[in-house]
Each structure stands twice: as structure tokens, then as C-alpha cells.
Amino acid sequence: MAQHRGAGVMAEKLIVYPDAGPSTPALFHGNLTERLRRLGRFELHADTPADEQEFAARIADAEAVILGWGMPDPVLASAGALKIVAFTGIGASNHINLDLARDRGVLVCNTPGYADVTVAEHTLALMLAGARHIAALDASVKAGAWDHSHVGFDLRGKCLGIVGLGGIGTRVAHLAKAFGMEVIAWTANPSPDRAADAGLRFEPLETVFDRADIVSLHCALTPQTEGMITGAHLDRMKDGALLINTARGELVEEAALMAALTSGRISAGLDVFHREPLAEDHPLRRLPNVVLTPHSAYNTPEAGFAIHEMCVAAIEGFYDGRPINVVNP
């Protein structure tokens, strides 16, 4: 059901959120809605379109769209009035055809940094859960046992290897330093200033996997990074080392990851997967040395407000002649 329909203010400009979640309307009460209503008419649909036809109908007259999940090519091609899409996330290219949007004169903006703190804290939660066997201990106690056979390890004094030092990776580095960890990192664009800011040193990727007790992935998914973590990298990890992935599942070769985890030589904390939702019969669900969360590292009210505020700011900037965070210039 559409909500927040403004009236009488620059009515020729229609802004539509066609695929919001049930909890999203609460974020738009007050300031965000008023800001959009100053630009034109705002419609929010707190559900997913049933099919492409319904999706196309919802945005048929829209100049601006806030996109929650993804826009199929036929829907994008049919949106004749569309000028800007503000995507609620970072990896817009996985959810909308940027080349097709550019060909149709549609700017696509994303929301970098909206969940740096949120995802970094979830990363630390997965580290602690893996290091201290939290999931197994919880299940054991709830099943009536009082089992002390799961021996954990301290984070203090361990080496954390970060792969990809953007906003999230930098925040993870600061949190890890607070735990007393040594931090090393690999990034495609190292510099002394970035190393000093994060309180770490840069190393070759192979060295990160050789030395780290915990490796945490924080790269964006691009054609260059897809499958960048191979079986050869996983083979370099110490026995008992922990792999954390709150970035994208496709960064790691899936067959190699399954082989390493099935062997029991390493363990993992995973929030992201090659195919989502994770299949009910996927072997990962049965491995005792893996902690799984359902791509929810970003999911807090604080991050939810931040992502939508950035989308509103992107639309305001577009209409003010100052587009921001454009990913298909």
C-alpha cells in the first residue's frame, strides 16, 4: 500500500519508493518525508511488487526512485520519466543495470558508509562467536547439557588480517586494536597515511593469510575481486584460524571454502553467501565449525535511518544540481 502522498507542491515531480520493507514507513515519518515533500509528491509502497508489471506501474511516472532491492531491466527500460535512482546500499551494480541506466540518462546513486560502524560491530560479534564457540555453547546449554569441552581463545595478542581497507575495514581495525590485537591488512591502494589512520601495516595478500589468526574480508564485489580468495589462500591459513566474511560471498571460491571448512582445519563466521537465501540443504548449515547469520550485518535501526537519509540527500542534491554518490557518471 502506498503511503506518504504529498499534495500540491511541484506535483509534476513524483518520487517513489516502490519496494520498501514493512518496517520502513516508520523511518520516513517526520523529517525525511517532509524533505521529499518539498521536492514533489512522495509515494512509499511497504511491500515488494508482485511482478515486473506491478513494479513498472508503480514507477511509471516517477522522476526519482528510492530502490530497496533491485530493478529488473524491463522495468528500468519502461520508466520513461525516470531521472535518478537512489539505491539503499553500496553494491548498486548487483541490483540495477548501470549501463542501461546510463544509456537512458538515469543517474544511479548509492549510500557509501551508511553501515560502517554497524557492519564492523557485527564482524567483531562473529569473531567473538567463532573464537569462543558461542553458538555451540548456547545450543548445548539449551539442550540441557553443561559441557566445558569447547575451549576458546583470546583475541588479545592474536593477529587480525583485514582484506580490503575501506570504511568498514578501518573501523574493524580500530575495534580490534581495542581488544589488543595486532592488525595487518591488504588493500588495492595502500599508503602510509591510510596505515597510520587505521593503526596497522600493509602486507601482500599471501602474507596476510600466512600470518593472521583471523582473516576478515571487507572488499567490494567487482569483476576484479570476484573469486579473489582461492584455495591457495585458504591453504595458507594456520590450523585453527578463523575466516570472517561480512562483505560478499562471491569474494571466495565456494568449492575451496567448502573443502577447507569440511576438513575442519579452519573455522568461519559468515554473513554472506554465493546464493541467498542459503539453500535449506546447503552443507554449511551442518558444519559445527561455522557460525552463520542471514546477511544481516547491516540491520540496525541506526543504519536503517542513515541509509534512507543518504538516499533523500542524493535526491535533494540531484534537484539542486549537485548530485552525490553517483556510480554511473
Active site residues: 248, 276, 295
Pairwise CA distance, residues 194 & 168, whole Å: 13
Pairwise CA distance, residues 274 & 161, whole Å: 22
CB 96 within 8 A of CB 67: yes
Residues paired with residue 41 on neighbouring β-strands, in sequence order: 14
Q: Which amino acid is at 144?
A: G
Pairwise CA distance, residues 15 & 43, whole Å: 6
Which position has the grid cell 520498501?
A: 20
All three cell numbers of 114: 551508511
All three cell numbers of 247: 562483505
Quickly count: other Cβ atoms within 10 Å of residue 87's Cβ.
Answer: 28
Residue 237's closest CA among 255, 215, 259?
A: 215
Angle at 166 between CA 311 and CA 214, to 5 degrees: 130
